[in-house]
Structure 1
Amino acid sequence: MWLTKKETAEKAESVKTGVVTTGGGEISVCTELERRAPTVTVPYGMAVSVPQGTEAVMTGGVCLGVVNDAGTLLPGEVRLFSAGGAQIVLKLDGTVVINGQVFEKKEE
């Protein structure tokens, strides 16, 4: 029991948030130390170029992702967005919203 608690506490301490100090394809993130060119993990089929000033989640030399604001999303909804304002929202009811234009789910 105590070993599990100790291991969990050590893992939690190794995850830190920091600010992206150099954005783009090869980022730098400043937590208690600055990490240059950490590996940035994203799901398969996606690529990101993280903007400077974004809050990032780090563990060791790996950027696990960035802190985001879900805003008005309901549980189960997904929003893809760019710094330029383009966005795609996959809604809970099956509709897709692309830059404000709504596409209703087609019934099969």
Structure 2
Amino acid sequence: MWLSKMLSKSDKTMTAESGSVTLSDKNTCEIGASVCQRDIDSYSPYGYSSRAPRGEKIILVPSADGQVMLGTAEDASSLESGEIRIASAGGAKIILKNDGTVIINSMIIGKDGVIKNDK
């Protein structure tokens, strides 16, 4: 809602749009949308850093400094409301469950800090 209000106050000719990452390496990120753009700034919550891989669908929003990447499209269908998953393209993942457990790849750590699936 805040973002919508801020966008409505800005230049009406600039709109948010979706696109796909067409190039992603250490020094360059290129987005294909209505216009192909390189070296686009990316914004995420404090403490999170990521580089979207090639082919990811992203959202671009206007800013005073030009368009910025706000995030990628995510499939949260396996999560319950309130749960969080952090995942890499290589398959590593951390899931914060509503019951207090944490899953790191396949290791389950209970709310009490005890590893549940230790063999």
Q: Which residue of 2 aligns with 1:16?
A: 17
User: Percent of aligned pairs with the same residue?
Assistant: 34
Residue number in structure 2 paired with 1:104 = 110
Structure 2: gaps spanning 5 or more residues: 114-119
Look up the equivalent residue of 1:17 and give its one-letter code: S
Q: Which residue in 1 is equivalent to 2:117?
A: none
1:89 to 92, 95, 111: 95
Runs of 4+ in structure 1 deviating by more than 6 angstroms, as ranges, are none
The CA deviation at 1:24 is 2.9
What runs of 5+ residues in structure 1 fail to find an aligned partner?
A: none
Normalising by structure 2, we get a TM-score of 0.76
Q: Equivalent residues in 2 for 1:4-43 (5 A)?
A: 7=8, 14-25=15-26, 26-43=28-45
Secondary structure of the equivalent of 2:95?
strand
**1:106 Cα shift?**
1.4
Q: TM-score, normalised by structure 1?
A: 0.83
Matched residue, 1:52: 54
Counterpart mapping for 1:69-80 below 5 A = 69-80=75-86
Once residues 16 and 62 of structure 1 are traced to their aligned partners in structure 2, the CA distance between those partners, rounded to angstroms, is 10
Task: Specify the code of the residue in structure 2 equivalent to 1:63.
Answer: M
What is the RMSD of the two structures over their aligned residues, measured on CA atoms?
2.0
Task: Return the structure number with greater helix share.
Answer: 1
Q: What's the CA shift string for 1:23-65, capped at 9, x where partnerless?
A: 1343111111011111100111121111000001001310001
